[in-house]
Structure 1
Amino acid sequence: MRIDHLDHIVLTVTNISATIAFYSRVLGMQEITFGDQRKALAFGQQKINLHSAGRPIAPHAASPTPGTADLCFIVAGGIQEVLAHLQTCGVALEAGPVPRTGATGPIISVYFRDPDGNLLEVATYEYDQPIQLS
């Protein structure tokens, strides 16, 4: 067996509506409804399925808890565009821009949190623009 790609992940959240609003506004993801009125966030060819805390859908992780995820998303374009967008959205940075190593090479990342406290990393492989590291 050889894994080809990641299809979806599951986030356990305290408030599905607030999560959808944040990920749609800040990260440009699209809300979708599937199955028995379940909610997910779609982006590219992947999605994030959302489960309500205290009501996970079986089978589920051993301890599904809001705020325990650490996710990295790659964006096209420069990190300065990311910074400007996050500032416009009123998102407070935890760290960055900082150099990191992505799945296929060096990236520049910024870190912030979603409404449940999950750590989100948004990064770019683009280095054609001047980078202001903080």
Structure 2
Amino acid sequence: MRIDRLDHVVLTVVDISATIDFYSRVLGMQEITFGDQRRALAFGQQKINLHSAGHPIAPHATSPTPGSADLCFIVTGGIQGVLTHLQTCGVTLEAGPVPRTGATGPITSVYFRDPDGNLLEVATYDQSIQLS
């Protein structure tokens, strides 16, 4: 077996509508509805399925808890554009910009939290250096 890519992750959240508003407004994700009126956030070729706290959909993680995720999203363009956008959206930074190492090389990251307290990292790759 060889893994090709990550298809989706699940976030357990207190308020699905507030989560959709935040991720749509701040991160530009698109709300989608699928299956039996389940709601998710789509971006690129991935999605984030949303489960309401106290009502997870089986099967689910052993201890689905709002605020327990730590996610990193890669954006195109420079980090200054990210900072300007986050400021316009009224988002408070936890840290950054700071150098980090992404899956394929050096990145520059900023950190902030979503309405449930999940740690979100938005990063840009340093195009001059990539790991093989």
TM over 0.5: yes
Give secondary structure in 1 for the equivalent of 2:111: strand
Q: In structure 1, what is the equivalent of residue 33 of structure 2?
A: 33
Q: 1:127 Cα shift?
A: 5.6
Count of residue pairs the alignment pairs up: 128
Q: Which residue of 1 aligns with 2:20?
A: 20
Structure 2 CA distance, aligned partners of 1:126 and 1:12?
Answer: 32
CA RMSD of aligned residues (A): 0.9
The corresponding residue for 1:47 is 47
CA distance in 1, matches of 2:108, 2:118: 19
Residue number in structure 2 paired with 1:83: 83
User: Match for residue 131 of structure 1?
Assistant: none
The 5 Å alignment of 1:1-134 reads 1-126=1-126
**SS state of the match for residue 83, structure 1?**
helix
3-state SS of paired residue (1:94): strand
SS at match of 1:24: helix
Q: Deviations over 1:47-101 (max 9, x none)?
A: 0000000000000000000000000000000000000000000000000000000
**Cα contact 1:7–1:46 (8 A) shared by 2:** yes
Q: Which amino acid aligns with 1:117?
A: G
Equivalent AA in structure 1 for residue 3 of structure 2: I
Partners of 1:53 and 1:65 within 8 A in 2: yes
- Give the % identical residues: 87
Residue pair 2:105, 2:126 contacting (<8 A) in 1 also: no
Unaligned runs of at least 5 residues, structure 1: 129-134
Shift of 1:126: 4.0
| In structure 1, C-alpha distance between the alignment counterparts of 2:39 and 2:121, rounded to whole Å | 22
TM-score, length of structure 1 as denominator length: 0.94
Amino acid at match of 1:94: E
